């Protein structure tokens, strides 16, 4: 069964080339990999039967990709823009990673949600032991949405 493992972005107008590049890289690991274009320019969803989000992310991160701008592993996928559930999910992912300094970046498409408000709510949930640190974080969290689908990925800060 195919499951969503990555969200990727490309320059606008280069989605087909980005999809081909991702497919060619991941096909050797899973011949059932499926890269789908979305209704949003420059946004691709990557599905796999065999690969985990981390395996797919590492495979793409280890190669030079001409047409892929950003890759986000789908550690958590949520349906619908529920701001409280999203904030709680992000806070739990930060706690599980074991660091106290974190960065949170967002790109919302298809519904209105404030990244500033999400950051504020995550900080409230995490409490005093954690701090938002944009310059030298230990944990980097990326939140992306495509319509009602929200993807949360935890990245290596050097690649985030």
72: closest CA among 109, 98, 99, 39?
109
Measured distance CA(29)–CA(63) in Å, rounded: 14
* CA geometry: angle 1, 106, 103, nearest 5 deg: 105
H/E stretch holding 121: helix 115-126
Q: All domains of the chain, ordered by start, with CATH? A: 3-73 (3.30.70.1650), 76-155 (3.30.2130.30)
Q: How much is the pTM?
A: 0.91
Per-residue pLDDT of the chain (160 residues; tens, 9 = 90+): 999 999 999 999 999 999 999 999 999 999 999 999 999 999 999 999 999 999 999 999 999 999 999 999 999 999 987 899 999 999 999 999 888 999 999 999 988 889 999 999 999 999 989 999 999 999 999 999 999 899 999 987 864 4
């Amino acid at each position: 069964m195919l499951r969503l493992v990555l969200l990727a972005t490309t320059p606008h107008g280069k989605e087909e080339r980005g999809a081909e590049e991702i497919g060619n890289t991941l096909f050797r690991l899973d011949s059932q990999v499926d890269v789908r274009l979305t209704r949003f320019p420059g946004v691709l969803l990557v599905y796999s039967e065999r690969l985990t989000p981390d395996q797919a992310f590492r495979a793409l991160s280890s190669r030079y990709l001409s047409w892929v701008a950003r890759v986000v592993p789908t550690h958590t996928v949520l349906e619908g823009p529920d701001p409280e559930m999203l904030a709680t999910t992000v806070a739990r992912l930060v706690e599980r990673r074991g660091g106290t300094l974190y960065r949170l970046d967002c790109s919302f498409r298809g519904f209105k949600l404030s990244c500033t408000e999400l950051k504020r709510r995550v900080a409230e949930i995490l409490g005093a032991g954690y701090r938002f640190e944009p310059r030298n974080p230990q944990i980097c969290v990326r939140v992306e949405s495509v319509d009602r689908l929200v993807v949360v990925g935890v990245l290596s800060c050097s690649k985030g």
